[in-house]
Structure 1
Amino acid sequence: MKKIIVPVDFSEFSENALKVAATIAKKYNAEIVAVHMMGLSTAVLTKDSSQSMEGMFYMKLTQKRFEEFLDKEYLNNITVHQTVKNFAVFSEIDDVAKEFDAQLIVMGSHGSSGLSEVFVGSNTEKVVRSANTPVLVIKDDASFDVKTAVFACDFRDESVVVFSKAKALFEKLNIEVKLAYINQPGDSFMSTSQIEQRIVNFLVQLKGAPILPEAVTIYSDFTVEKGIFNFAKRVKADLISLPTHGRRGIAHFFSGSIGEDVVNHSTLPVLTFKM
């Protein structure tokens, strides 16, 4: 763990994320990259001199707010990089992560529901949908003391690579992982023997220390989302983790994304890995 990206909008939610990033950074001697996206129009930045002066004013103002925002005791002895981008879309946070070779993005979120979830969505949801870097979503000001995590997936072959990444990160963070397959009624329902065979086929493809099939819990519930939450509660997990497909547009609207729904509705921190 070398660098952690923290998107900052100067809200209490981004400060919650910053506190968690500081906890992880101190534990693993990592650096933090705090990034703020101004979202100014291109016209303000590139046209005539008066508009350029306006852009310069906003840039200086943002830098001043940044310095005040990052003047926190919990950041003492941590190397913190500041970067101000004119990105208007949160999906480009992943570009910042690549630029700084970061291994983790930490974001604060209040979640969303109802019409706002359908028509607008949250900035955090956009990052979860698009980032190739793992995204840790923090919901409140609680201290980040994670000992047990749930990792839920469908155990298809396409999930092997992403679980291997998750497994490596959990080992770095010294987090015990509880694996779960959520079986639900409907078209995707499978018998226990079918699920067990899929799990075996999945586990034999993993490198490193073997994981026995008995380590995976087959948990039945009415929806995948409910199953993840109820299983996490049963095992007293501190964190929920899962892969996300990052659906976009019409496909996302009609079929939804379990990863984004879990991020929106979970009270626990959520760690996502894009497939």
Structure 2
Amino acid sequence: MKKILVPVDFSEYSEYALEVAAQIAKQQNAGIIIFHMVGISESVLSKSELEEEEEAKYYIHLAKEKIKTFTDKPYLEGIDVKTVLQNLKIFSEIDLVAKEQSADLIVMGSHGISGLKTVFVGSNTEKVIRTAQVPVIVIKRRRPSFDVKNIVFAFDLKQENANAFKAVQEFAKTFSATLHLVYINTVGINYMSNSQIQQKIDAFLALIGEEIPIKIYNDYSVELGIFNYANDVNADMVAIPTHGRRGLAHFFIGSIGESVANQSSTPIMTVKI
């Protein structure tokens, strides 16, 4: 890991993300790219060329001053920090910035006040997750000590998740963390018998070429099961594979566990399949 992209809007939540990114950067000897969307309005861009240039300079100057104050933090000392300002209008374009800057990881903050269904579906965070080709870590509260010892990788046992698993496995190794694989078996149309689940487990393990225990956890919904299991193993992070533009909606539609997710402050990593 060489570069970590941190989108900031100068809120306390993006500062939480920056502090976590700094801790990862120090452990990995990586640099940090602080990205801010200047967001110059259409009204500015529709003015004369001279007016447009002057107002654009004004907004960029304000952003630079804010970033100077925002990054004046002891935890950033000794880290190679680069600032990128761009006039982007939609959060999905952050993936383009990540590609341009050759970022290996995105760390971003989220208030998470309405649980995961809102944090990941129909929000700016979800837009980043759906388009990002690199892993995204979502931070919802301040973590002055980002000490990752237990990571839960929750997935549906499909073989397409193999690359996502490998990415999370490598991340766990960098922190010397224990990786817990879990399949949430729910009631209803998606319910599978133990023998059906075991067949999928055997096929997945054969594909990755490793013998790793995979926990079968029964619960009323995938969302509820993930967080109950994460609590059971004292997880410091939950990792979930995503399907690109499908986002995470398939995990949370109709979930009765929203109240549990709403109160969870566990960092979440998403990895593109």
Asked if TM exceeds 0.5, the reply is yes
Cα deviations by residue, 1:153-208 (Å, 9 ceiling, x for unpaired): 0111111122122212222232210000000011111100100110110111115x
Shift of 1:47: 4.3
**Counterpart residue number, 2:123:** 122
**Counterpart residue number, 2:265:** 267
**Counterpart residue number, 2:38:** 38
Shift of 1:41: 3.0
Shift of 1:42: 4.8
C-alpha distance in 2 between matches for 1:100 and 1:127: 16
Correspondence list, 1:133-212, <5 A: 133-142=134-143, 143-207=145-209, 210-212=210-212
Give the AA of the match of 1:202.
F
**Counterpart residue number, 1:79:** 80
Could you say what secondary structure the match of 1:258 adopts?
Answer: helix
C-alpha distance in 2 between matches for 1:186 and 1:256: 18
RMSD over aligned CA atoms reads 2.4
**Counterpart residue number, 1:57:** 58
The yes-or-no answer on 1:258 pairing with 2:255 is no
Percent of matched pairs sharing the same residue: 48
Shift of 1:258: 2.1
| Stretches of 4+ aligned residues off by more than 6 angstroms | 259-262
Could you say what secondary structure the match of 1:236 adopts?
Answer: coil
Change (3 A) 1:46 1:83: farther
Structure 2 unpaired stretches of 5+ = none
Change (3 A) 1:224 1:104: same
Shift of 1:117: 3.3
Shift of 1:90: 1.0
C-alpha distance in 2 between matches for 1:167 and 1:274: 14
C-alpha distance in 2 between matches for 1:101 and 1:46: 33
C-alpha distance in 1 between matches for 2:252 and 2:187: 19
Shift of 1:112: 4.2
Cα deviations by residue, 1:214-273 (Å, 9 ceiling, x for unpaired): x1100000000000000011111111111122445xxx7xx92427998x7442000111
Give the AA of the match of 2:238.
I
TM-score (norm 2): 0.89
Change (3 A) 1:171 1:34: same
**Counterpart residue number, 2:219:** 221
C-alpha distance in 2 between matches for 1:135 and 1:211: 27
Shift of 1:46: 6.7
Q: Greater CA deviation, 54-63 or 43-52? A: 43-52
Q: Greater CA deviation, 72-81 or 167-176? A: 167-176
Whether the 8 Å contact between 2:222 and 2:252 is mirrored in structure 1 is no
Give the AA of the match of 1:60.
H
Give the AA of the match of 2:219.
D
Could you say what secondary structure the match of 1:204 adopts?
Answer: helix
Could you say what secondary structure the match of 1:15 adopts?
Answer: helix
Q: How many residues align?
A: 264
The yes-or-no answer on 1:242 pairing with 2:244 is no
Could you say what secondary structure the match of 2:65 adopts?
Answer: helix
C-alpha distance in 2 between matches for 1:41 and 1:230: 44
Cα deviations by residue, 1:1-59 (Å, 9 ceiling, x for unpaired): 10000001001000000000011111111000000001213552474111321111101
**Counterpart residue number, 1:24:** 24
C-alpha distance in 2 between matches for 1:61 and 1:91: 24
Give the AA of the match of 2:57.
M
C-alpha distance in 1 between matches for 2:68 and 2:46: 26
Give the AA of the match of 1:160.
A
Whether the 8 Å contact between 1:4 and 1:30 is mirrored in structure 2 is yes
C-alpha distance in 1 between matches for 2:218 and 2:142: 32
Could you say what secondary structure the match of 2:208 adopts?
Answer: coil
